[in-house]
Each structure stands twice: as structure tokens, then as C-alpha cells.
Amino acid sequence: MIKVTESISIADWELTETFSTSQGPGGQNVNKVSTAVELRFSAEKSPHLSDSLKSRLKKLSGSNWTSDGILIINVQETRSQYRNRLIAKQKLKKLILEATQTHKRRIPTKPSARTQANRINTKKNRGLIKILRGKINNEN
């Protein structure tokens, strides 16, 4: 069982792990030992997640979310199957925690009148400087 927060925990029956040979360093051992982990979490069927949390999780996971509502996490970072399993569970926990946080909606504001006046004055002064750089007429 994975405890994400006080109210959210993932039961073992919701998780499925499959193992395969990994890529990367390890020499001949890579071809013999199944160290890569594919963690499947049936998020759509999970009774511990609310519908709004599931929709945010689906949005965050992107292409790792299947049409059946299963979240897939692939890990092959280390040569150890045990460490890859831990990393996969940590990634799942982090993803769910990220989905629990709702972002505060931004309220658009307008700049104050003083700020607008300062901006216009700065632009006028800059324009005046550029005009003074121009050619000088010496006609008398």
C-alpha cells in the first residue's frame, strides 16, 4: 500500500508491475536480468481518488494515460530491479501529489494611472534623446 496523503492511499490491487530487460549500462548483465519496471496504476477504477483528481491526473500524465484509464510509469534508471520499483512508486506518488494541488486562479489587474503616466513620460524622454542624436542643420 502506498500512502500519498492522510486521505489518499493506493491499495496493492490497483498496482501491477511487469519487468523486462533494461537499456543502458550493465554490460552483458543487461541482456540477462529483467531490471526495468513498468508500473500500471488503474486510476479510473480507484475508489480512493475523486473524479476531479482523476481528471487532473489524466491531464498531467499525458500520453502515459491509456484509453482504459490506466496510468503507466516506466523506470529503467538503475541496474537494480528493487531500486527501479521504488523509483516507480515514488514517481506515482509525486504525480498524484501534484494532481491534488489546485492552482489559484489569477485575477487580471490593470496598471495604475501613475504607472501608465510614468511609462509614457519615459517613452517621450527616450524619443527626445533619439531626436537630439539627429543631424544638425548649420544654415544661417
pLDDT in tens, 28-65: 777 788 889 999 998 888 888 888 888 888 999 889 89
Mean pLDDT computed over 10-31: 80
Q: Is 92 in contact with 10 (CB distance < 8 Å)? A: yes
The whole-number pLDDT of residue 34 equals 87
The whole-number pLDDT of residue 30 equals 74
Does the structure show a pLDDT above 80 at 97?
A: yes
pLDDT in tens, 116-134: 999 999 999 999 999 989 8
Any residues with CB less than 8 A from the CB of 84 and at least 6 apart, and which? 22, 35, 36, 37, 75, 76, 77, 78
The whole-number pLDDT of residue 47 equals 87
The pTM for the full model equals 0.68
Query: At 140, is the pLDDT very low, low, confident or very high (cuts 50, 70, 90)?
Result: low
The whole-number pLDDT of residue 23 equals 79
The whole-number pLDDT of residue 32 equals 81
Distance CA 104, CA 29 (A): 49
pLDDT above 90 covers a percentage of the chain that reads 35
Residue ranges of domains in the chain, CATH in brackets: 2-100 (3.30.160.20)
